[in-house]
Amino acid sequence: MKIIVTGAYGQLGGELCRLLRGDALPLDIDSLDLADGPEVLKTLERLRPDAVINCAAYTQVDLAESNAEECRRVNATAVEYLATACGRLDCPLVQVSTDYVFGGEGVFGGEGVFGGVGLRRTPYKENDPPRPQSVYAKTKLEGEYAAAEYQKHLIVRTCGLYARPGDDRARNFVRTMLDLASQAKPLRVVDDQWFSPSYAPHVARAILFLVGYDRSSAAPWGIYHVVNGGATTCYNFAVEIFRQAGMDVSIEPITTADYKAAAPRPAYSVLCTSAYHNLGGPPMPHWKAALAEYIEAREV
């Protein structure tokens, strides 16, 4: 089974290519501009994949607020072209999306001001109505709609990805915290946004299960939430990172208002994974167990 992986240099795309080995057909911006419709079709017709997994995305959430056109080009227009090309070849399209499509029921605005109708405390299911607030989130939802126009689609929403420590190109929260801690400076980390940090190797193997790699068939078409278990805040995540790494770090909890990000952030964007787990796919461990796996790999 030959699978095109777009965004192959990213954390999730790189992990998928590692798992697929010779079955991966890796593509990134240096080999294909996904917002060039004719080139997308030409490339897919040349490679003739059995499936396409689109990990490419514009993920600079704050910068997207002032760069909406480019964000939409990557997160939505490109997906339209991929869906059209996959339709021509009759091959499945996996569109990787985000927990940020939710969050309208309690959201911090660009100035850190809390709004919405109250803070949700129940994990979102796939059929809960999305309420994206930022440009990034809105364009990712547009990408979902574009993928869903094609029958053979799998939309995988995930959250807070961090790659294995051996991925030298990876930029993520875990690596950033460990790097900052090594500088012996006090840290201030947001403590009022709830989410489920997710280890890229776990998410990647779940996606390969859903697309039917090494199995007889893919999962039923539709949307699936794939994240590690449990929920936490960035502050508590950082505390656990340092505890497991055996590091004594001075860390202070702050609010989103203190952080003053340009883009709105969901106060709660935890995802329910029951639909995925009911299919019998590889388990998604609790986020603390996933972090322990990362720390162990880091120390080898």
Residues annotated as catalytic are 136
275 contact partners, CB below 8 Å, separation of at least 6: 125, 126, 223, 224, 225
Can you tell me the distance from the alpha carbon of 30 to that of 141, in angstroms, rounded to the nearest whole number? 25
The label of the residue with tokens 């709105």 reads 264
The label of the residue with tokens 């009022």 reads 192
Would you say how long the chain is, in residues? 300
For 7-76, give the secondary structure using H, E and C. Answer: CCCCHHHHHHHHHHHHHEEEECCCCCCCCCHHHHHHHHHHHCCCEEEECCCCCCHHHHCCCHHHHHHHHH
Contact 158, 198 (CB under 8 A): yes
The label of the residue with tokens 């080139």 reads 39
